[in-house]
Amino acid sequence: MLTITGLSHVYGNGTRALDGVNLTIPAGMFGLLGPNGAGKSTLMRTIATLQSPTSGSILFDGLDVLKEPEALRRTLGYLPQDFGVYPRGSAYDMLDHMAVLKGIGHGGERKQTVEALLHKVNLWDVRKKALAGFSGGMRQRFGIAQALIGNPRLIIVDEPTAGLDPEERNRFLNLLAEIGDNVVVILSTHIVEDVADLCPRMAVLAGGRILLEGAPLDLIAETQGRVWQKTIDRAELDDHMRDYRVISTRLFAGRTIIHVASDGSPGPGFTPVTGNLEDVYFSTLDASRRPVTPVAA
């Protein structure tokens, strides 16, 4: 279990990237949702011991991560958002090199590890190909292979499907799903569908703060009867944005479909929506952006 308490980080220019983050993350897939600039990558890099927080603590199965970073790294698998590789090296040679860096020095054990991982991520047939010739999806699969070296107990993947085509995205998500339930896997993303597909637990991070945490199915259930839909002309959007709490919009057949948060019917033309995780996410972000109304004395 990963326990994060009071974690804050302020950069030298005064930017507060994390603001008192508290999270308890059990074994299994955990989704961390948030828009770009929410603080997700700062949080992932801090957990991965690549930077130190301004304040707070991180415990992993009793290990004080901030005091013993080397101990955490021995059991960590990390796929960062910007995963850099040596483009001229082959997939096999690079994975073999990374296995050495992870402490797998014995030739036979290392060979077995590398070959098993290449099969697992479906890159065996291109193992001798230079990484420079890999597609984005193939590079991400190579990235998860290197993250799995040494059977880590904590795995962090940061924005892993951004930029992938639908086929590669599905292939990558299926690969993540196979990792197992006995390790902590943190999926940090702004793509709601990735979390909906994989994660039994999740949190929403924005402005460096945790806005919402729970089981997706429970959070979706809480939206029932509170999200309404209406199809309007695009010219009507500004008026509806002014008059209603519009949490999301999308185009369909040249018209605009809006979702509105309301405890009762907002008015004529609205129909109730069977809520989904996207409605949970957008309504949470919308609520966080609205000014707090002071309580009358």
Half-sphere exposure of 105 (CA within 13 A, CB side): 1
Which pLDDT does position 297 carry in this prediction?
46
Which pLDDT does position 61 carry in this prediction?
92
In order along its 297 residues, the chain shows pLDDT tens digits of 999 999 999 998 988 999 999 999 999 999 999 998 899 999 999 999 999 999 999 999 999 999 999 999 989 999 887 766 667 889 999 999 888 888 887 778 899 999 999 998 889 999 999 988 888 888 888 888 888 898 899 999 988 887 778 888 888 888 888 887 789 999 998 889 989 988 999 999 999 999 999 999 999 999 888 999 999 998 899 999 999 999 999 998 889 999 999 999 999 999 999 889 999 999 999 888 876 555 444
- Alpha helix (H) residue ranges in the chain: 40-47, 69-73, 91-101, 107-120, 136-147, 166-177, 192-198, 216-221, 237-243, 277-289
C-alpha to C-alpha distance for 281 and 262, rounded to whole angstroms: 15
3-state SS, residue 117: helix
Angle value at C-alpha 87, between 85 and 92, nearest 5 degrees:
80
- Specify the pairing of strand 209-214 against strand 63-64: unpaired
3-state SS, residue 219: helix
Which pLDDT does position 86 carry in this prediction?
64
C-alpha to C-alpha distance for 282 and 277, rounded to whole angstroms: 9
Report the predicted TM-score, pTM, of the whole model to 2 decimal places. 0.87
Which pLDDT does position 167 carry in this prediction?
84
Give the residue from 27, 30, 37, 11 showing the smallest Cα distance to 208: 37
Which pLDDT does position 85 carry in this prediction?
63
Measured from the Cβ of residue 102, the count of other Cβ atoms closer than 10 Å reads 18
Q: Which two tokens stand for residue 24?
A: 């308890």
C-alpha to C-alpha distance for 187 and 199, rounded to whole angstroms: 8
> b/e for 182-199, b at 16 or more Cβ within 10 A?
ebbbbbbbbbbebbbbbb
List domains and CATH numbers for the chain.
2-220 (3.40.50.300), 222-289 (no CATH)
3-state SS, residue 56: strand
- Specify the pairing of strand 201-206 against strand 209-214: antiparallel
